[in-house]
Amino acid sequence: MKRLVLLGASGSIGMQTIDVVHQHPSDFEVIAFSVGHHIEKIAEILKDSPVKNICVQEEKDAIELAHVYPDIHFVYGDEGLCWLAEKCEYDLLVNALVGFVGFMPTLKAIESGHDVALANKETLVVGGKLIYEALHRCHRSLYPIDSEHSAIFQCLQGNRHAEVKRLIITASGGSFRTKNREELKDVTVEQALNHPNWTMGAKITIDSATMMNKGFEVTEAHWLFDMDYDHIDVLMHPESVVHSMVEYVDHSTIAQMGAADMRLPIQYALTWPQRYPLAQEHPLDLAEIGSLHFSKPDVRRFPLLALAYEAGRKGGNLDAVMNGANEEANAAFRKGIIPFLMIEEIVIRAVNLAPFKEVETVQDLMDGDVWGRNFARTQIERNRI
């Protein structure tokens, strides 16, 4: 029985993780979880996952819930997330949080001797250097949940790092993959949230539409697989059937294919090095799909993809600045405060204007994050619709 601490249980990845656990009740057990502000999800999750520790966002909710569930220990806020990651007795942390808030629990889990199944992009985008160092220092492992990185992880099995020529990350293109720049000026939040292939949370769906998400995945791949940015490519693939590929030095290419179902990479992160059965309503049928299409991304249409490469190559605090500015701009668009194209304008300005600093400590990351957020908030106030 593998004991799991699940951070972000109320989100899309969190709920799908619970579904995977329910499919294999004799193999996995959720022993603690977090739900942020979504306390209405607690009763539903507890039906099949009785736990002793839960983290919520607000102190007042923790106090009130402790009276409703007297046998459960409630913690709250960012410190509560770190407490679950560091103090609970478990085997694997599943980090399905959204945003920079996911970084510290990942670091605490590793430093307290735990492996991590990671869906939180910002952990590696912002703090990849420190996480990379902690993994080696503490001799722990990180298993990717992102479909693209899970695909690469699977394609690398049984091969040596020295044999890899390049990693090829596929991209659906998001909600606006067929629109030109002029058409993007007036798109709505509802249109942006209508992803053609995947069911995801709101923040990541908007990041997919701007291609910021794909830029983040390039940075993640750099840290996960110790691969130089010059050997990580992005390929447009609207069907989302090939989740990513690895080309080797002999020019053979191994691809991982599957239905657009996040439960597959979630389950592989939980079961590696084994594979377990997974009940799917619509498993991959290539004959039914008929054909697959690939093309190079147009970085003029998707400038945030190019920006992620630039920030990653320069290093230092720029990834933290980029992520902080993006989180603020993304949220402002979802609230209807700024137009869609203003997201990329704000993020690009932030990275170009930020004072550069090498990252040696967690505080360096936090300083970069705060600078990016403050810059973005100022720009948002000036450019309200």
Per-residue pLDDT band at 199 (split at 50, 70, 90): low
Please check the confidence at residue 174 and state whether its pLDDT lies above 90: no
- The CATH number for 216's domain is 1.10.1740.10
Please check the confidence at residue 132 and state whether its pLDDT lies above 90: yes
Same structural domain, 137 and 153:
no
Same structural domain, 103 and 183:
no
Same structural domain, 366 and 338:
yes
Same structural domain, 233 and 92:
no
How far apart are the C-alpha atoms of 281 and 171, rounded to whole Å? 24
Mean pLDDT of the chain: 96
pLDDT at 176: 85
| Residue 212: Cβ within 10 Å count | 30
Last residue of a domain, one of 144, 179, 208: 144
Beta strands 242-248 and 253-257, pairing class = antiparallel
Which residues constitute the domain of residue 213? 149-259+298-382
Number of domains composing the chain: 2
Please check the confidence at residue 73 and state whether its pLDDT lies above 70: yes
Per-residue pLDDT band at 384 (split at 50, 70, 90): confident
Place of tokens 């292939």: 197
- The CATH number for 114's domain is 3.40.50.720
Same structural domain, 353 and 371:
yes
pTM of the model: 0.94
Per-residue pLDDT band at 48 (split at 50, 70, 90): confident
pLDDT at 238: 94
Same structural domain, 14 and 64:
yes
Same structural domain, 234 and 372:
yes
- Burial class of residue 308 (count of CB atoms within 10 Å of its CB; 0-12, 13-18, 19+): buried
Same structural domain, 135 and 246:
no
Please check the confidence at residue 352 and state whether its pLDDT lies above 70: yes
Please check the confidence at residue 328 and state whether its pLDDT lies above 70: yes
Same structural domain, 131 and 161:
no
Per-residue pLDDT band at 332 (split at 50, 70, 90): very high
6-22 pLDDT, tens digit per residue, is: 999 999 999 999 999 99
222-243 pLDDT, tens digit per residue, is: 999 999 999 999 999 999 999 9
Same structural domain, 25 and 117:
yes
Same structural domain, 68 and 111:
yes
